[in-house]
Chain A
Amino acid sequence: MIKKIFFICTLLLGGGAAFLQTIQQPRIAAGKKVYTKNCLACHQANGAGVPGLNPPLIKTDWVLGEKKRLINVVLNGLDDAIEVNGEEYENPMPALEYLSDQDIADVLTYVRNAFGNKASFIEPSEVKAIRKKK
């Protein structure tokens, strides 16, 4: 009996991880759609940006680091002189606050897990909390 319960638990756990994976993939796919429509023109299809103009989204702390800062960039835009991986970029980032919490969470989840990046997912509730504080 105990063996049987153990077996079922294992099955549930293993299946749970796989299940999580499959429900997460659609979020990346949804994020890619948001990216293509709202971000790709500047940050480019490969996420590498445009030298001197639009910063890359690859292997940078701005994308992979603190979620709050990243969410704020999308909600409020960014028009300061910043360095990304030792380079400066001219163009301002427009505020995209008209995107829904879900869209912003999806697109940031996508950029944190595309172009060779790997970082935790961002939930709509996290975007909502930061949007409220504004």
Chain B
Amino acid sequence: MNRIYGLALLMMPILAMASDSGEINKNKIKEAAEQVIQVKEGFNATTLVAAAGRNRHIVVAPDGDLFIKLDRLRNGKGILQMRRAESSGKYELVDSFGNYVGTGIAIRQGYLYASSDDAVYRYALDKKGNVDQKDNPQRIVQGLWSRRQHASKSIALDYAGNIYVNIGAPSNACQVKDRTKDSPGMDPCPILDSAGGIWKFRVDQSDQSYPEGKRYATGLRNVVGLDWNEEVKALYVMQHGRDMLSSLFPDEFSDSLSAELPAEEMFRIEAGKDYGWPYCYYDPIQNKKVLAPEYGGDGEKVGRCALKEHPLVAFPGHWGPNAMLFYTGNQFPERYKNGVFVAFHGSWNRAPFRQAGYNVMFVPMKDGKPVGEYELFAEGFTGKEYIMSTGDALYRPCGLAQTPDGSLLVSDSREGRVWQIRFGDKK
């Protein structure tokens, strides 16, 4: 992987600085200027959309149209529909609808689903893949907790008429006073009755809320990236781990330890199970689930955490996993099939050290289980060699989608870019 192509052109004034980390292949510079990001050898990336808006999740319809969910309305609309122009190959805006902001968007069996921060809507798609009744969707879920923090509702669907909705906990570690030093953890944590988990609803019923839904899994602080794996018929999620261990417990945790703890955990969800938050977190250095300091933990004690579910994969701390996608296409080499991509939005809680994440990783899987270590698939989104402050990132990966021909799309939340990653040399 060549780290510096994109950097070089983007940052002309600091070209000299960049070039000390390797020799610049001039033939690649033009290409890199367009894509900025660098992808695994054998693949290539192109920019499909330059500046859509505050992109969150994305999805591609069977006919190839791209739908983008926005976190801020654009001309009063929160969903963009884009289509590939024959002439340029770029995507152009063909329609926009939905007067609400949010994160989740998905397509399943003839319907488009999209979420606001407290509800989920669905729109029927006609045979051409166009959206029927854009201004009059069916509201299938409503009245979910939306209390600023971790309010985004990510969604995933199975093929049996169920939708899985993340309800993030509006809290860091369920302290009496959130994120406040010396404030104890509430035990039991009352938030878990209404948030901090995945709720399951039917896709075809209107206005379901807590009484009609089912708490499918609990002890998940906040899930932004999740996907249904049809190969093994199970939901997989990436949890955003807790923040601020050293800020809240400076005597127990150094800043450097706090930058690495806890892991960002990937789980295969089983109905009714408890994944540990707020009582426990996963320490990727000791490889164990330990008691959180708000609940009597000292960084080593396990206690009740022995009974909580362990992660399938433990990624480094604070990377911010915002999207997850099981690859089911035929374009990429065989080893990618049924493996999972994870897009990391990038850290903030690693300060005062260099921020990290801001990439797309891949985990090879077979029968729903990892068969190798996670590996870097795409990087260079920050546009810089490294950043100390989150705001310095040029782009931040936030959504993933697969096209009908098996390309991977990556969306960015800062400028609204969407890249297409294909296998093989650039056409």
Interface residues of A (CB under 8 A from B): 36-38, 40-42, 44-46, 48-54, 56, 77, 79, 81, 88, 90-92, 94-96, 98
Given contacts A38-B247, A41-B349, whether A56 and B391 have CB atoms under 8 Å apart is yes
A90/B414 in contact, CB under 8 A: no
B71/A52 in contact, CB under 8 A: yes
* Besides A41-B244, A51-B414, 19 new A-B residue pairs in contact (Cβ under 8 A), listed by A number: A36-B352, A38-B247, A40-B351, A41-B243, A41-B348, A44-B388, A44-B391, A45-B351, A45-B352, A46-B388, A48-B390, A50-B391, A51-B413, A77-B177, A81-B148, A90-B150, A90-B151, A91-B149, A91-B179
A51/B180 in contact, CB under 8 A: no
In the complex, the 9 A-B pairs of residues with the closest C-beta atoms, listed nearest first: A48-B391, A44-B389, A94-B180, A46-B389, A50-B348, A50-B390, A94-B179, A45-B388, A90-B149
Q: Residues of B contacting A94 with CB < 8 Å?
A: 177-181
Cα-based distance from A91 to B180 in the complex (angstroms): 12
A92/B244 in contact, CB under 8 A: no
Q: How many A-B residue pairs have CB under 8 A?
A: 70
- 18 A-B pairs in the complex with CB atoms less than 8 angstroms apart: A38-B247, A41-B247, A41-B349, A44-B348, A44-B389, A45-B351, A48-B390, A48-B391, A49-B390, A49-B391, A50-B390, A53-B348, A79-B178, A91-B149, A92-B178, A92-B179, A95-B177, A98-B182
Q: Residues of A contacting B177 with CB < 8 Å?
A: 77, 94-95
Cα-based distance from A122 to B413 in the complex (angstroms): 37
Q: Residues of B contacting A88 with CB < 8 Å?
A: 148
B151/A77 in contact, CB under 8 A: no
Cα-based distance from A50 to B389 in the complex (angstroms): 8
Q: Residues of A contacting B243 with CB < 8 Å?
A: 41
Cα-based distance from A53 to B352 in the complex (angstroms): 17
Q: Does B270 contact A (CB under 8 A)?
A: no
Which of B178, B243, B348, B413 has the most chain A CB within a 10 Å cutoff? Answer: B348
Q: Does B212 contact A (CB under 8 A)?
A: no
Nearest B-chain residue to A77, judged by Cβ: B180
Chain B contact-residue range equals: 20 to 34
Q: Residues of B contacting A40 with CB < 8 Å?
A: 351-352
Cα-based distance from A56 to B150 in the complex (angstroms): 19
Q: Which of B83-102 contact A (CB under 8 A)?
A: none
Q: Does B392 contact A (CB under 8 A)?
A: yes
Cα-based distance from A51 to B149 in the complex (angstroms): 13
Q: How near does chain B come to A44, taking the closest CB pair, in angstroms?
A: 4
Cα-based distance from A44 to B250 in the complex (angstroms): 18
Q: Which of B150-189 contact A (CB under 8 A)?
A: 150-151, 177-182
Q: How near does chain A come to B404, taking the closest CB pair, in angstroms?
A: 32
Q: Residues of A contacting B392 with CB < 8 Å?
A: 46, 48
Cα-based distance from A110 to B150 in the complex (angstroms): 31
Partner of B391, one of A36, A46, A77: A46
Q: How near does chain A come to B48, taking the closest CB pair, in angstroms?
A: 23
Q: Residues of A contacting B388 with CB < 8 Å?
A: 44-46
Q: How near does chain A come to B290, taking the closest CB pair, in angstroms?
A: 21
Cα-based distance from A50 to B179 in the complex (angstroms): 16
Q: Residues of A contacting B150 with CB < 8 Å?
A: 90
Q: Residues of A contacting B179 with CB < 8 Å?
A: 91-92, 94
B391/A90 in contact, CB under 8 A: no
Q: Residues of A contacting B390 with CB < 8 Å?
A: 44, 48-51
Q: How near does chain B come to A122, taking the closest CB pair, in angstroms?
A: 22
Q: Residues of B contacting A46 with CB < 8 Å?
A: 388-389, 391-392
Q: Which of B231-274 contact A (CB under 8 A)?
A: 243-244, 246-247, 250
Which of B179, B244, B349, B392 has the most chain A CB within a 10 Å cutoff? Answer: B179
Cα-based distance from A45 to B388 in the complex (angstroms): 7
Q: How near does chain A come to B318, taking the closest CB pair, in angstroms?
A: 10
